[in-house]
Every structure is written in structure tokens, then in C-alpha cells.
């Protein structure tokens, strides 16, 4: 008995649909695995904050040459925004690792390192940077001597503090204190934020909240 052509066509369409759903599910699962792996890098660096869609306050500050630099001019890239001051010993100890990340960022199109000092200006920090880095910094250094950005807009009072801002200008994580930014984890963080933006992690005051324990287990 011959099966009517229309039923054959429907069967073929059903098979194609099932196959497409299976392929989509496989790809989606693989992407989630990659995203979760990137989130684990964020967790490993112990953020004080991560997860909510907060737009980074925009600002414009002068660099070492007096040229105004605006945060939003880096849209399309993941920004490692670091706040520091020359009287902060951990800030200077962190500088070589931050400089290594800065050199890596210079060879990429998706990541940038941007630092803001609350010192008076270039002459006030030039010697400290040369001692810490054995040369000039491979990233922009901006100045906010009155802390109108650092404290008034970002609420930072203790240094160093590093904010991770995604290509759309959304804050994705904040790290209080020094970190080894030269590590592969830092690059993974940048790549994760550049590719995915957010990740399934919700952290407040260094503690994972409900829903993020799958990628940020609290071992403390």
C-alpha cells in the first residue's frame, strides 16, 4: 500500500524539525558549558560583587598628558577599570600584574585596561609608577584628585578596586583589593565578559546568593 505523498512530506518535515531541535539543544548546552567555565574564572578571583545589570557611571578625566578620556569611548570592549593611589602599598604591588594584563590587552581588540588615580596629577605619580613598573605603564592613567568619580560616582573608599565593565557599559563584577591580573584567570574573565556579558552568578559582599551556587560555591 502506497503512503500518500502528503504524509510522506509531513514525516520528512517532522524529522527535520526534531533534528533541528536536537542540534539547537546540543549547541545551546555547549555554549552554557563555555559560559559557566568563564564564570568559574570570575568566581576564582573572589569578586565582592557580580551579576546585576548596573550601568557603569560615565565620566571624563585627564590622562598623563592632560588629554580628556571618556569611559564610554571604550564601548565595544571589556574594560578593567582600576582605582588606585600612590600611598596604597597593595596598589603598587598589584601594578606589575596589571601592567602584564595591559600589555596583553594592547594586542587584542576586545579588552582594555584603564586606571584612575586619586593623586594630584602626572608629576605626583610618575616616579612611583617607574619604580613599580620599571618603565611607563602600558595602559591609560587618569586623574581624579577630588574623587568626584572614584568616590562620588562609584563609592570607592578602599584601594585598589577593580571594576569589570562589559562592551555595553554594564558593570559585571567588582574586585576589592589586589589580584593577580597577569594570571590566565584574568584573561578568561575578560573573554567571558566580552562574549557573554553576564554569567549565572549573583554575588554580593563576596557571598554567592541563591541561584549562583552552581558556579560560585562558597568554600569559606
Say which CATH number the domain at 164 has.
Answer: 3.40.30.10
Q: Tens of pLDDT along 95-121?
A: 999 999 999 999 999 999 999 999 999
Strand partners, 174: 49, 163
Residues sharing a CB contact under 8 Å with residue 131, sequence separation 6 or more, in sequence order: 92
Q: Over 50: is that where the pLDDT of 31 sits?
A: no
| 218 within a domain of the structure (yes/no) | no
How high is the pLDDT of residue 218?
52
Residues sharing a CB contact under 8 Å with residue 164, sequence separation 6 or more, in sequence order: 42, 78, 79, 80, 81, 171, 172, 173, 174, 175, 189, 190, 193
Q: Tens of pLDDT along 184-200?
A: 999 999 998 988 766 65
Helices (H), 82-220: 89-106, 122-133, 184-196
How high is the pLDDT of residue 18?
62
| 188 within a domain of the structure (yes/no) | yes
CA distance 177 to 159: 6
How high is the pLDDT of residue 1?
52
* Mean pLDDT computed over 78-83: 98
How high is the pLDDT of residue 198?
63
| 160 within a domain of the structure (yes/no) | yes
How high is the pLDDT of residue 27?
36
| 167 within a domain of the structure (yes/no) | yes
- pTM for the full predicted model: 0.79
| 111 within a domain of the structure (yes/no) | yes
Bond preceding residue 160 cis, omega within 30 of 0: yes
How many domains, the chain?
1
Residues of the domain holding 59: 9-208
| 219 within a domain of the structure (yes/no) | no
How far does CA 63 lie from the centroid of its chain? Answer: 22
| 216 within a domain of the structure (yes/no) | no
| 4 within a domain of the structure (yes/no) | no
How high is the pLDDT of residue 24?
42
CA distance 95 to 129: 8
Residue 64 phi/psi, 5° resolution? -60, -25
Amino acid at each position: 500500500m502506497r503512503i500518500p505523498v502528503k504524509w510522506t512530506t509531513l514525516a520528512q518535515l517532522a524529522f527535520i524539525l526534531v533534528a533541528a531541535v536536537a542540534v539547537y539543544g546540543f549547541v545551546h548546552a555547549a555554549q552554557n558549558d563555555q559560559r559557566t567555565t568563564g564564570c568559574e574564572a570570575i568566581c576564582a578571583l573572589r569578586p565582592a560583587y557580580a551579576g546585576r545589570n548596573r550601568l557603569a557611571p560615565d565620566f571624563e578625566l585627564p590622562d598623563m598628558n592632560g588629554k580628556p578620556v571618556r569611559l564610554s569611548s571604550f564601548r565595544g570592549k571589556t574594560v578593567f577599570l582600576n582605582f588606585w593611589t600612590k600611598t596604597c602599598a597593595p596598589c603598587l604591588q598589584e601594578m606589575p600584574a596589571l601592567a602584564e594584563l595591559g600589555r596583553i590587552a594592547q594586542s587584542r581588540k576586545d579588552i582594555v585596561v584603564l586606571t584612575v588615580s586619586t593623586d594630584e596629577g602626572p608629576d605626583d605619580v610618575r616616579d612611583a609608577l617607574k619604580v613599580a613598573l620599571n618603565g611607563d605603564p602600558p595602559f591609560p592613567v587618569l586623574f581624579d584628585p577630588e574623587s568626584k568619580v572614584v568616590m562620588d560616582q562609584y563609592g570607592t573608599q578602599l584601594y585598589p578596586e577593580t571594576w569589570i565593565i562589559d562592551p555595553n557599559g554594564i558593570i559585571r563584577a567588582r574586585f576589592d583589593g589586589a589580584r593577580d591580573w597577569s594570571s590566565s584567570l584574568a584573561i578568561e574573565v575578560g573573554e567571558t565578559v566580552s562574549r557573554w556579558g553576564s554569567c549565572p552568578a549573583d554575588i554580593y559582599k563576596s557571598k554567592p546568593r541563591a541561584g549562583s551556587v552552581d558556579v560560585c560555591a562558597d568554600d569559606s
